[in-house]
Amino acid sequence: MSSLDNATISAVSARRDTMLEPDEVTAMLRLNKLGWGSRRIAREFGCSRTTVQRYVDAGGWQEYRSPRKGVSKLDGHEAWLRECFFRHRGNADVVRQDLARELGVRVSLRTVERAVSGYRQELAAEAVATMRFETPPGHQMQIDFGEKRVRLGGEMTRVYMFVATLGYSRRIFAMAFLHERQSAWLDGIETAFRYFGGTPAEVLLDNARALVKHHDVATREVVFNDRLHAFSRYWGFRPRACAPYRARTKGKDERGVGYVKHNALAGHSFASMDALEQHIAWWLREVADARCHGSTGEPPLLRFVRDEACKLKPLQGRPPFRQIRELVRKVHSDCAVEIDTNAYSVPWRLVGESVQVTLSGAQVRIFHGGQLVAEHAEASGRHRRLTDPAHFVGVSGASGPVLRPVDPEMVAMRPPDLLRPLLEYEQLAGGRW
């Protein structure tokens, strides 16, 4: 087919969609009276046979009118439909139910879906759109954990990376742990404070069970762990939990975790945990602090030194929080107190009594009435029991029957043999009644 034929077909196709002029319709009717068929006339005028037949039946030229749209039950309710559609996050069936209940309008689900189809793209855009929230210098630090398997000492080991990011300067701190328990969270936060040289006004954290007891999705009511409350009071910051299922609330640290995992650790193996920690320290200094940040357009260290370091609250030489923990515990019947799932023995005479516990310098000291009654090294693991044999001297079954000294005055006052004193029964039974 020649290019001229193609042009002719294109012109005819275009004419099919245009309305004919009155003089063309007059000529069309004249040819019809001369015996021309509708196909031949359509070919002559470059239109469809349906158009020819319509003009012939009408007997002349008529203005084209689009089919009139029928009246819908939803006419006039456009604003209500949009508000209800967004309120129910795009659930058209719930919108249909509300139509019947609130407005008394009963239509099919398909009718509602056609009416709200134009709002779906807007709803989808709203779901992915994020407004960047910038915090002033020294106001916020975001924290999170990420896990990655690395080769440690020749074996693949799951390592948990604690990452803290300052909201203004984007300067980050990272620390490796072998677990993600509460002690790791608190040690990571405290070490980050010392790395940055001060504390921010607030710390934005995830809803980790080690830190948050309860976070209601609807009311946003947050109940923090008691130890986190004590920790935040000690360092003078306000804890804040991001919205449940909205990890983007702390997007700066989410990206920081990914940056550490895929840049600092990717493709590396380490001889030991110490070697991993040395590598992280080098990477923070030489890579993370020196890079040009994509959002701020300048190195995080430069932005931190210039604007943010002076806004952090000074540490004032405070010792680590874990060094001065003070607790109150009740002595259990097994002659021990429980601290962080570990049990530490105390003298058996204190069973049922309340004692004061101080943790400092990896030592557990237990006091009663202001007197030191027990001292243990802090257990490094969980569910361990540390005992001192001296605490069980005099307990029946600990090292044989209990032997108590006999008072000479009691011997002189011994009644007749038929009336045996209770002291003998106590010695046989291994204790007082």
- Strand-pairing partners, residue 355, are 329
Residue 165 has phi, psi (to 5 degrees) of: -130, 125
Span 184-203, average pLDDT: 94
**Two structure tokens written together for 399:** 């090292």
pLDDT value at residue 122? 80
* Neighbouring-strand partners of residue 313: 199
Span 63-72, pLDDT tens digits: 666 555 556 7
Quick one: tokens of 86?
Answer: 């967004």
Q: Give the integer Cα–Cα distance in Å for 135 and 312.
A: 13
The enclosing H or E element of 157 equals: strand 155-166
What's the pLDDT score for residue 337? 95
Q: What are the structural domains, with CATH classification, of the chain?
A: 3-58 (1.10.10), 78-128 (no CATH), 140-311 (3.30.420.10), 321-389 (no CATH), 401-433 (no CATH)
pLDDT at residue number 244: 61
Statement: residue 76 has pLDDT above 60: yes
Residue (of 74, 84, 32, 77) closest to 53 by Cα position: 32
Residue 210 clears pLDDT 70, i.e. is over it: yes
Q: Is the pLDDT of residue 183 over 70?
A: yes
Whole-number pLDDT of residue 65: 61
What is the model's pLDDT at position 307? Answer: 94
Encode 195-234: b = buried (16+ Cβ within 10 Å), e = exposed. ebebbbbbbbbbbbebbbeebeeeeeeeebbebbeebbee
Strand ranges for 266-362 from DSSP E = 269-270, 325-330, 336-339, 342-345, 354-360
Query: What pLDDT, in 10s, does the model give residues 214-257?
Result: 877 666 788 888 888 888 988 999 999 886 655 555 555 567 88
pLDDT of residue 50: 87
Question: What per-residue confidence (pLDDT) applies to 2?
Answer: 46
Residues in the chain: 433
- In this prediction, residue 138 carries a pLDDT of 93
Q: Could you give the CA distance from residue 175 to residue 193 in angstroms, rounded to a whole number?
A: 12
pLDDT tens string 120-144: 888 777 665 555 567 899 999 999 9
The tens digit of pLDDT for each residue in 6-47 reads 444 444 444 444 567 778 888 888 888 888 888 888 888 888
pLDDT at 426: 63
In 3D, which of 390, 380, 405, 401 has the Cα closest to residue 335?
390
What is the DSSP track for 178-220? S--SHHHHHHHHHHHHHHHTSB-SEEEE---TTTEEEE-TTT-
Structure-token pair, residue 160: 């948990």
